[in-house]
Structure 1
Amino acid sequence: MCCVSGQPWLPVADNNARHITVVLPSVLHPLAGGQSVLTAPADGPVTVGKLLDAVTSDFAVLARRLRDETGALRRFVNVYVGGDEVRRLQGLDTEVAPGQEVLVIQSVAGG
């Protein structure tokens, strides 16, 4: 239940520049306790990997849906920071600054 700063994650209501917001697609809301947005406190830049660890610490099924057993992003999950997909940046080592929004998109396919 710990985040980047050692504090528990907070609902989006506490929306100041010392937090990083993670926006989830509707298909993942049930895995995040029905929430569409998770917010983690951060005193400075943190990596996407540490951010995902923090916001999924209470949601084990969500964590497994986003990353595989090695900790890598699953191929059908895209994470965007500042409009750029993190795989085109530094992957899970991409830094996110407090006040920024991280967008998670999950590919959906069917036949």
Structure 2
Amino acid sequence: MSVTVRIPTILRTYTGGQSEVTAEGATLADVLDDLEANHTGIRARILDDAGDIRRFVNVYVGNDDVRFLDGLGTATPDGAQLSIIPAVAGG
């Protein structure tokens, strides 16, 4: 299943500056594997050493936060838009 992945500015060095890329996969985990295969190093910026989504990174399939769905097992239907959004902190 092909999905569109919106890439935040901070991760665009892994995608050659592209703000959107396509990836394949039936689940979020599959999509991240495909992203890593085509954009080496990007997965380590999204997942921690335990293989979980980093707590300061939000991932959405459509308008839904995957933390409130099935996490890495969240379905990524054909044509879905996946957004990777790093948390912003400051004061």
What band does the TM-score fall into relative to the shorter chain? Answer: 0.7 to 0.9
Partner of 1:21: 4
| TM-score (ref. length: structure 2) | 0.87
Question: RMSD of the alignment, in Å?
Answer: 1.7
Q: Which one-letter code corresponds to 2:52 in the other structure?
A: A
The alignment status of 1:40 with 2:20, answered yes or no, reads no
Of 50, 64, 87, the residue aligned with 1:107 is 87
TM-aligned CA deviation for residue 33 of structure 1? 1.9
Higher helix share: 2
After superposing on structure 2, the runs of 4+ consecutive aligned residues of structure 1 that deviate more than 6 Å are none
Q: 1:104 to 1:63 in 2, by over 3 A?
A: same
Name which structure has the greater RCO, CA cutoff 8 Å, separation 6+. Answer: 2
Name the SS for the 2:59 alignment partner.
strand
TM-aligned CA deviation for residue 97 of structure 1? 0.5
Question: Which sits farther off after the overlay, 74-83 or 18-27?
Answer: 18-27
Calculate percent identity across the aligned residue pairs: 42
State the structure with more CA Rg: 1
TM-aligned CA deviation for residue 78 of structure 1? 0.6
Runs of 5+ unmatched residues, structure 1: 1-17
Partner of 1:3: none
Runs of 5+ unmatched residues, structure 2: none
Number of residue pairs the alignment of both structures matches: 91
Q: 1:60 to 1:41 in 2, by over 3 A?
A: closer
| TM-score (ref. length: structure 1) | 0.73
